[in-house]
Amino acid sequence: MRFNYKDFFKNFSVVTILYLILFLSIMNEGIFSYKGSVYINVLIYIIFAVSLSITVGLLGLLNLGHAGFIAVGAYTGAYVSKLIINLGINENIKFIFALIIAGIVSGIVGVLVAILTQKFSGDYLAIITLAFGEIIKYVIQNLPFLGGAAGFKGIPNYTNFTITFIMAVITISVVMLVGYSRFGRSMVSIRENEIAAENVGININKIKRYGFFISAFFAGIGGALFAHNLGVISPDKFSFIFSIEILVMVVFGGMGSITGAILAAGFITIANEFLRGIAEYRALIYSISLIIIILYRPKGLLGTSEISIVKIIDKIKGIIKDGIIKNKKYGD
């Protein structure tokens, strides 16, 4: 496939314009602005949802332990930041280093989970990944150097809108490229029919390991952003409910749609802001929402379809062009 410079320029232009609009809307509100914190939360949850869509959407594996990968990234990033906090280098450089280490460690854990679960699928895989998420939580609770059950405190507040936006764009871009690549098509073939995929020569275990690594890598980066945004993290934040919350976003957006996961993550994160007053009922609301989605819209918001910025721009240009032609015609 040849690199299309026109399409790249269109996508880059739209992303840049979106960034400028959002940044200008919070520029004069200070670093602790409510609107800015909402933007950051939306972007972090987009990273969570898009990373989970690799295993759940493309591979078709029911992963109920995504919060475990996020927790590994969050604690790794926080620990690395505290280790290098006194180094005389730029804060952003230290933060990016912590993000990369968090992603790598989480990705390695993802590969280990893939190796341990390569003989399982369906309900068995769901149970194992659920157990993994809970194991991670209880292991962290018993590690004093990570704060134990009391939580890890004193994490530098390095997370800002610009870095989070860039990481979200990188996550979406990489996952999109993976989805459209030969590797992504192999994932989809495994999702549709694992036996047929194996019969045509696809190395299923290898593809699953790669898929889990990419998913866990970006979940780890999102977890590190999450930790450096809060300043304090505790094991109870990464419970089974957290995994279900992200899974709902993927299912609601469409199991095989990256843009669907993005839209759903944005919508649900903003909706959570309005539900703060009834936070104790959040688990009930997610459970009911998941049942309603499966009953009335099993394919989710977009199913396996994607929203293309390039196609939207071309459509708008076509409408404008048709309007100009009609105006000239009637004007004559």
Q: Does residue 275 sit within a domain? A: yes
Q: H helices then E strands: how many in the chain?
A: 13, 0
In the predicted model, is pLDDT for residue 5 greater than 60? Answer: no
In the predicted model, is pLDDT for residue 14 greater than 70? Answer: yes
CA neighbor of 309 nearest in space, from 255, 262, 256, 267: 262
> What is the reported pLDDT for 190?
84
224 vs 7: CA distance, rounded Å: 32
pLDDT, one tens digit per residue, over 234-268 is 888 888 888 888 988 888 888 778 888 888 888 88
> What is the reported pLDDT for 60?
83
What range does the domain containing 93 cover?
A: 35-331
Residues 15-25: what's their mean pLDDT? 86
Q: Does residue 103 sit within a domain? A: yes
> What is the reported pLDDT for 6?
66
Residues 286-293: what's their mean pLDDT? 76
pLDDT over 90, % of the chain: 23
In the predicted model, is pLDDT for residue 1 greater than 60? Answer: no
> What is the reported pLDDT for 3?
46
Q: Does residue 23 sit within a domain? A: no
Say what the pTM is: 0.88
Judge contact between 134 and 64, C-beta under 8 A: no
> What is the reported pLDDT for 104?
95
* Helix, strand, coil percent content, the chain, rounded in steps of 5: 80, 0, 20
CATH number at residue 57: 1.10.3470
User: How many domains would you assign to the chain?
Assistant: 1
Q: Does residue 21 sit within a domain? A: no
Q: Does residue 317 sit within a domain? A: yes
- By CB neighbour count within 10 A (0-12 exposed, 13-18 middle, 19+ buried), where does 141 fall? middle
Range scoring the smallest mean pLDDT among 87-101, 253-267, 272-286: 272-286
Could you count the other beta carbons within 10 Å of the beta carbon of residue 281? 11
In the predicted model, is pLDDT for residue 70 greater than 90? Answer: yes
In the predicted model, is pLDDT for residue 102 greater than 80? Answer: yes
Cα 331 to chain centroid distance, Å, stands at 51
Q: Does residue 10 sit within a domain? A: no
pLDDT band at 323 (very low <50, low <70, confident <90, very high): low
CA neighbor of 125 nearest in space, from 191, 180, 70: 191
Q: Does residue 180 sit within a domain? A: yes
192 vs 62: CA distance, rounded Å: 14
DSSP string, 245-260: HHHHHHHHH-TT-HHH
